[in-house]
Structure 1
Amino acid sequence: MKQAVKTAKRAKRRIGESRGGRPTKAEAQAIEDRILAVAADLFARDGYAATSMERVVSECGAGKDTIYRRYPSKRAIFGAVLERSRRRIMARLAELQVRQSSQNSLAQLKELTSLLLDINLDPELVAFKRTAASESLVAGGSQAEPEPDAIMSLLRTSVMKAQADRHVVSGDVNFLTDFLINSIIVGPTTLAMFGYKPLASPKERKLHFEKAWKLFLGGAAGRKD
């Protein structure tokens, strides 16, 4: 996060040195990146309530009109920060899929689940989730049907492939996917949401994952059927 803000500040200096008038496409993107990097740092560090549009304007150095043209409210800029985080997660998952092309379906499922554990324990993402939950921003009070979760769809597809290859039991793929998430990811993520720091080291995280994965495959009775 600190590196992202430093990069954004360097971009700011470069933009400030450019010619006047309408910014180029590259300059406009640099401005956008700077605004979201600063806003993400503020939301993650100080929370939603303590982060005002005025603070974003002050700390990123962009003009007030520049920011409000893009984001008319704090809710809008927070939504953009969450979308930025989601895109980064999807990019990591896409990179994983490329690397996994030669693996069997069970190995693919295992590596995907391990990566999702890492992603869900990322401090910035934990902070965003905590903020969204406490401020009730995710649903925004809307009664509309939620959009399909691309990450859950990816995990569900991976489970289905492992089922088709008979690496895991057949049956309700939704139930099995939910069970996988709850048995490996939800517990540590919930602790992190409450301010604890579970599985802080890579060694602790790997140990937890391997034990939970073994239990997922074999069940409490140690059977695979």
Structure 2
Amino acid sequence: MSSSRSAKPAAPQRLTDRKREAIVRAAVDEFRSAGYEATSMDRIAAAAGVSKRTVYNHFPSKDELFGLTLEHLWESSAGSEDLAYRPDLPLDRQLRQLLMQKLELLGDPSFIDLARVAMAEIIHSPERAQAIVCRMGEKETGVTAWIRAAIADGRLIEVDVDFAGHQLQGLVKSFAFWPQVTLGQPPLAKAERRRVADSAVAMFLGCYARQRADGKA
């Protein structure tokens, strides 16, 4: 008999937890497709395959469920950490790596769901969606911090950091965010993400990089 012990199987998920997850998943779909006002707890219960009473046992109100839905999507898409500026590495290599990380985030289904839900709610109730939209914007601060550090290091020309950051994000989002959020297009394949990143890097550094004596940024 082998002395090695087999791994202990994971404890089965409790029924109440499975129901709660089903409710949240159903709420994501309903809020995304119908918006906040048109979505009812009845619809969510039917989509989740549970009773309306079960929904209220987990979530006292639709507003609370909507807030938790946005938080759930936010946490699901918040996995990566921003890359810090490195004075010892070429700018194009750093910026390409940073943009590839951003492109991976923009292709994350949870982030796309979050964007669709929040943007749909902006139309009906801007104040309700304002907080989550601001938090989505926080995911772009890594690019701004990188640009600011590169300017301070003398490797980018003096430029309005916020303007340059939005400009760089726009080069990426026009291919890897807006078509997916507004038109339902699929996320970019890896080769397409590389093409978008390489093009954005070339355009951005062609405009803002200080050239050294050897012609390199």
Shorter-chain TM-score bucket reads 0.5 to 0.7
Provide the C-alpha distance between the structure 2 equivalents of 1:111 and 1:42, rounded to a whole number of angstroms: 36
- Count, aligned residues: 197
- Residues 143 and 113 from structure 1, CA distance in 2 versus in 1: closer, same or farther, beyond 3 angstroms? closer
SS in 1 for 2:127: coil
What 5-or-longer segments of structure 1 have no aligned partner?
Answer: 1-10, 17-26
Alignment CA distance shift 1:167-1:78 (3 Å): farther
Tell me the TM-score normalised to structure 2 length: 0.66
CA contact (8 A) 1:109 1:162 kept: no
Q: Which amino acid aligns with 1:15?
A: R
Contact 2:74 2:110 in 1 (8 A): no
**d(CA) in 2 for partners of 1:66, 1:163:** 55
Any conservation in 1 of the 2:106–2:112 contact (CA below 8 Å)?
yes
1:184–1:202 distance in 2 versus 1, CA, 3 Å: same
CA drift at 1:210: 1.0
**TM-score, structure 1 normalization:** 0.64
Residue 140 of structure 1 aligns to a residue whose secondary structure is: helix
Which 4+ stretches in 1 moved above 6 angstroms? 141-144
Alignment partner for residue 112 of structure 1, among 89, 93, 98?
98
Between the aligned partners of 1:165 and 1:140, the Cα distance in structure 2 is: 39
CA gap of 1:154–1:69, structure 2 versus 1, over 3 A, is farther
Residue identity in the other structure for 2:126: A
Aligned residue runs from structure 1 range 31-46, under 5 A: 32-44=20-32, 46=33
| Cα 1:110–1:78 shift into 2, 3 Å | farther
Mapping of residues 63-142 of structure 1, within 5 Å: 64-90=52-78, 92-94=79-81, 97=83, 104=89, 106=91, 107-136=93-122, 139-140=126-127
| Whole-Å separation in 1 of the counterparts to 2:120 and 2:19 | 29
1:8 corresponding residue in structure 2: none
How far did 1:151 drift? 1.5
CA contact (8 A) 2:180 2:187 kept: no
1:169 aligns with: 157
Following superposition, the deviation at residue 181 of structure 1 comes to 0.8
Structure-2 change in CA distance of 1:196 and 1:60 (3 Å): closer
Q: What is the alpha-carbon root mean square deviation over aligned residues?
A: 4.1
Amino acid of the structure 1 residue aligned with 2:80: L
